[in-house]
Structure 1
Amino acid sequence: MPFQKIETERVADAIVRQIERLILRGVLRPGERLPAERDLANRLGASRPSLREALADLEHRGLVTTRPGAGAYVADVLGNAFAPPLIALFSTHEEAFFDYLAFRRDLEGLAARRAASHATPTDLDVIARIFARMEAAHARSDPQAEADLDVQFHMAIVEAAHNVVMLHMMRSMFEMLKRGVFYNRGLLFDNGDIRDTLLSHHRAILESIEARDPDAAQAALDDHLGFIEQAMRAHLKTAAQEQTARLRRDHLTATETRA
């Protein structure tokens, strides 16, 4: 008969499953420090030996790391989506950058659609609060803070889509963006006119998601990333023209010296 004896779940296994869910759903983030052992055991209502057993299991499976004298941390697994040599190639080839933007337009467009349909009131509050901070950074002319909040804003939309595979894939992509693998965000946010346009784009994305309009949310997201693509193509064209102009000048200088 296909019946099995009902057994009480071990406390350590219950702890493992709870931490796994928090990592999977993006509540616990890569590199985040877990509470001290005593505090975490109290929060879980578990003994410290059971907690240690659970953490050892999670560390064995690469989800948690322990640092002597520092405690336990969620493993930094975001970079595992791409091998380091491939990441290095991404950072040196324009083709990878524009393919990256195309990937974002496809996947984030879907995320914006899902967020407009599936975002909870709490999700909407988080997105709106990040946008308010972005407006404040814009008002005080703080491009670095505005650029950092830009990534947070887009990530909050992905989180509001409530798809864990999309969540972890996009976290990996945004982590490389923050590290400057794909492009220097300062090229965009140091330009006041472009910053004004980007802020208006984010406002349109937020308002369409708040209005529960999937088509408008996807269109606003697509317009935003399309503008970034055009701005970066214009920058690269200008940079290439300047390089050519300098080569001509240097050649002229050398010719004059020989004369």
Structure 2
Amino acid sequence: MFRKIGEERAFDGILKQIIDNIQTGKLKAGDALPAERTMAETMGVSRAAVREVLRALELLGILKAVPGGGNYITEDLDTWLIGPLSILFQLNNGYVRQNQQLRAALERENAILAAKKCTPLDAAELWMIIARLDAAEDEKMRGELDKELHQKIAKIADNPMIYSVLAAADKLTESIISGIRDYIMHKNQSAAVVDEQHHRLVEAIINGDVEAAERCMSEHMVTVEKFMSEMLREEE
């Protein structure tokens, strides 16, 4: 799995070999890496160099270190980008409007992909979430179900890169405007508009209507941005 490192810098060589093994499937989600001593001896580097790379991969969310139990490839490689991207967005000052524009673009693409890939099982799960949304009265519960619906659409779209970037953007929005989903999903006349948009969006995805799915998601994102602006004004 690992080999002697040549002329390249130890850190770069160790990192490249670990990433190559993940990409080729030699290391899969949940797999344990060899012990630090074994890796160091195999690659002809110091244990300190190996430990430096492992720490960096742990910070990125690619590895999970278990005290006394070794290092493991994260169980869900599809979501490892969420942490680093969340930090990057925060360092970029976390502008709400730009963040929402990014979310809207990604949500539209998710709707398009989901309409192309939705299976009968996916359709049943989407309608189940909608039914729970219709029945829920508690704002917090409705907010959680709204999040679940969008996550399900993203899962159906089956693009890990979009999923990770969208999840990071969503996380940043919640940190800037606490309770935004609860606010949007409050049971009032405005919430009825959101519920109706959800129904049309899910119907379009299930029917495989790509144009309708994109249009419904666009309308929904415009509505979400309106509520966000409204909530920000109230907090000023």
With normalisation by structure 2, the TM-score equals 0.65
Say which SS state the counterpart of residue 208 (structure 2) adopts: coil
How much does 1:203 deviate? 0.9
**1:19 counterpart = 2:29:** yes
Q: Which residue of 2 aligns with 1:174?
A: 170
Q: Which residue of 2 aligns with 1:154?
A: 150
Indicate the RMSD between aligned Cα atoms, in angstroms. Answer: 3.4
How much does 1:52 deviate? 4.7
Tell whether the 8 Å contact from 1:151 to 1:174 is kept in structure 2 after alignment.
no
In 2, distance between residues paired with 1:150 and 1:210? 17
Tell whether the 8 Å contact from 1:131 to 1:203 is kept in structure 2 after alignment.
yes
Q: Which residue of 2 aligns with 1:184?
A: 179
How much does 1:89 deviate? 2.8
How much does 1:98 deviate? 1.7
Say which SS state the counterpart of residue 65 (structure 1) adopts: strand
How much does 1:147 deviate? 0.4
Q: Which residue of 1 aligns with 2:210?
A: 214
- Cα 1:195/1:89, change in 2 over 3 Å: same
In the TM superposition, 1:118-157 aligns within 5 A as: 118-137=117-136, 141-157=137-153
- 1:199 pairs, out of 195, 217, 225, with 195
How much does 1:70 deviate? 10
Say which SS state the counterpart of residue 98 (structure 1) adopts: helix
Question: What amino acid sits opposite 1:19 in the alignment?
Answer: A
Question: What amino acid sits opposite 1:121 in the alignment?
Answer: P
In 1, distance between residues paired with 2:83 and 2:132? 28
After superposition, the C-alpha distances for 1:192-242 in whole angstroms (9 at most, x for unaligned) are 2222221111111101101110110111111111112223334444565xx
Q: Which residue of 1 aligns with 2:160?
A: 164
Q: Percent identity?
A: 19
Tell whether the 8 Å contact from 2:86 to 2:171 is kept in structure 1 after alignment.
no
In the TM superposition, 1:1-259 aligns within 5 A as: 17-19=27-29, 52-53=32-33, 60=54, 61-62=57-58, 63-68=62-67, 74=75, 77=80, 78-83=82-87, 86=90, 89-90=93-94, 96-137=95-136, 141-177=137-173, 179-185=174-180, 186-190=182-186, 192-237=188-233
Tell whether the 8 Å contact from 1:155 to 1:170 is kept in structure 2 after alignment.
no
- Cα 1:234/1:181, change in 2 over 3 Å: closer
- Cα 1:17/1:132, change in 2 over 3 Å: farther
Q: Which protein shows a greater Rg?
A: 1
What runs of 5+ residues in structure 2 fail to find an aligned partner?
Answer: 1-20, 40-52
How much does 1:148 deviate? 1.0
Moved more, 125-134 or 77-86: 77-86
What runs of 5+ residues in structure 1 fail to find an aligned partner?
Answer: 1-11, 21-50, 91-95, 241-259
In 2, distance between residues paired with 1:196 and 1:116? 24
- Cα 1:104/1:85, change in 2 over 3 Å: closer
- Cα 1:181/1:122, change in 2 over 3 Å: farther
Say which SS state the counterpart of residue 146 (structure 1) adopts: helix
In 2, distance between residues paired with 1:143 and 1:70? 42
Tell whether the 8 Å contact from 1:55 to 1:64 is kept in structure 2 after alignment.
no
Q: How many residues align?
A: 189
